[in-house]
Amino acid sequence: MVIGIAILLLAPFVVFLLPNFIANTIYFKAGSWFIFVSFGVYMVYAVAFIFLIAAFFVLYAMNMNKKSIVITIGLMILACTSFYIASLNYTMLSDDRITYRPLLSFQTYSYTWSEVDEAVFRSVHADDGNSEFDFKFDDDVVLTLTMNRLFMKFLPPIENRLSHEGVEVEKILIPKKE
């Protein structure tokens, strides 16, 4: 029970720190600028923590009988599976390419900067949501990155790299909603 309560209290903090830490630990390599994870990854980590917390509470509530141990093992397997699936998602910007793996996918996509056909930055007022940056590649695949404060630090290097490849970033300012 104590372990379940401790995880319950720490989970909100860990859910916000763990995804980027794990993605940067696993996928960071020489020449990488940074590894980003999508918002959905945080939700999958939250679900994993819910399974983990539930496992300890079931074990406590059912007085550690055989049935509770089987249910706890099942919940632990679900938690581990959720952590694994969440750890697969990332977007990496590096000196020579853009590499990403969508959420709930086992396939990694990788494009060089020269394969970017179009780049669109849609700037939205902070009160109305998040700005987005779209990369459209040679094969008509579009990668949309949601902008946050961390990503905004990488906007000038992205624009410089695209300018070097002859791709101009189209900037669209979306007016504030009233």
**86 and 135 co-located in one domain:** no
Same domain, 71 and 138: no
- pLDDT tens-place string over residues 3-33: 767 777 777 777 777 888 888 888 888 888 8
Q: Report helix, strand or coil for 13.
A: helix
User: Which residue range forms the structural domain that includes residue 42?
Assistant: 2-90
Q: Are residues 6 and 81 in the same domain?
A: yes
Q: What confidence score (pLDDT) does residue 9 get?
A: 74
* Whether the model pTM is above 0.75: yes
Q: Is residue 100 part of a domain?
A: no
How many domains in the chain? 2
pLDDT at 79: 93
| One-letter identity of residue 174 | I
Q: Are 83 and 45 in contact (CB under 8 A)?
A: yes
What integer best gives the mean pLDDT of the chain?
Answer: 85
For residue 141, the 8-state DSSP code is: -
Report pLDDT for 111.
Answer: 93
* 56-59: long-range contacts, CB 8 A cutoff, minimum separation 24: 56/1, 56/3, 56/4, 56/7, 57/1, 57/4
The Cα 61–Cα 156 span in angstroms is 54
DSSP for 98-126, written as a single string: EEEE-TT----EEEEGGGEEEEEEEEE-G
| Residue-wise pLDDT tens digits, 98-136 | 999 998 888 999 999 889 999 988 888 767 777 888 899
Asked whether residue 77 falls in the same domain as residue 121, the answer is no
Q: What is the share, in percent, of the chain residues with pLDDT greater than 90?
A: 20
Q: Is the pLDDT of residue 151 over 80?
A: no
> Is the residue at 8 inside a domain?
yes
**97: in domain:** no
Residue 17: what residue type? L
Q: What is the pLDDT of residues 47-58, one digit of tens each?
A: 998 998 888 888
